[in-house]
Amino acid sequence: MKVDDAAIKGAVYYNNERVLVVLANVRGERAQGFKWALDLQGVGLEPSQRYDVTGSSGNPILQVEGRDLVKGVIEDSLDGFRIKVYSVTRRHDDRKYVLHNTRAWTEDLTEMKLVIKTKGPMGQRSNLKFRSPAKPKEVKVGTRALKDAKEWMWDETAKIGTVIYDYVDTKVEVIIEIQ
């Protein structure tokens, strides 16, 4: 990983589908307009593929060509002594997968049904973003089916869905099903 500003230090963690890029501003002043690049081949990924790049807040979600990631097209700013985490996910246009969730999650895809399991502090509002090749027929949180457009949103152009939900019990796992 390379960053064009000496105030920004970085670390990279990865598996065969996702890379986490952690950026830290080690100075007290804001670092404005720096760019970072990722050595995809160094982490076992192909520059010829497309990737979804998501910031730690879930925004923005950028669709980036691998060769552009290698060149360093992602630009950001970071206040002094702050960090930001980016998730770089290999783009799959033929299946559903999670791009971002407010809390840690596990996901399982079986016959185009995506099941996400997560836990969080009681009363915390959470934001889940997922990619799907087509608009899901049904989205459920627990046993409750969500009403389209009122309780979850779909961006047809980007093929990204957003579900906003609340954790109701820290001991109970929230299960979200996207079919």
Which pLDDT belongs to residue 17? 86
Beta strands at 105-110 and 74-78: parallel, antiparallel or unpaired: unpaired
Q: How confident is the model at residue 176 (pLDDT cuts 50, 70, 90)?
A: very high
More confident residue, 171 or 72: 72
Which pLDDT belongs to residue 45? 95
Closest by alpha carbon to 160, among 97, 109, 115, 114?
97
Tens-digit pLDDT profile for residues 40-97: 999 999 999 999 999 988 888 999 999 999 999 999 999 999 999 999 999 999 999 9
Which pLDDT belongs to residue 52? 96
* Percent over 90 (pLDDT), the chain: 89
Closest by alpha carbon to 148, among 178, 117, 175?
178
pTM: 0.89
Asked whether residue 160 carries a pLDDT value surpassing 90, the answer given is yes
The beta-carbon contacts of 12-15 under 8 Å, at least 24 apart in sequence, are: 12/38, 12/43, 14/43, 14/44, 14/45
Which pLDDT belongs to residue 7? 98
SS3 labels along 105-146: EEEEEECCEEEEEECCCCCCEEEEEEECCCCCCCEEECCEEC
Asked whether residue 148 carries a pLDDT value surpassing 90, the answer given is no
Asked whether residue 174 carries a pLDDT value surpassing 90, the answer given is yes
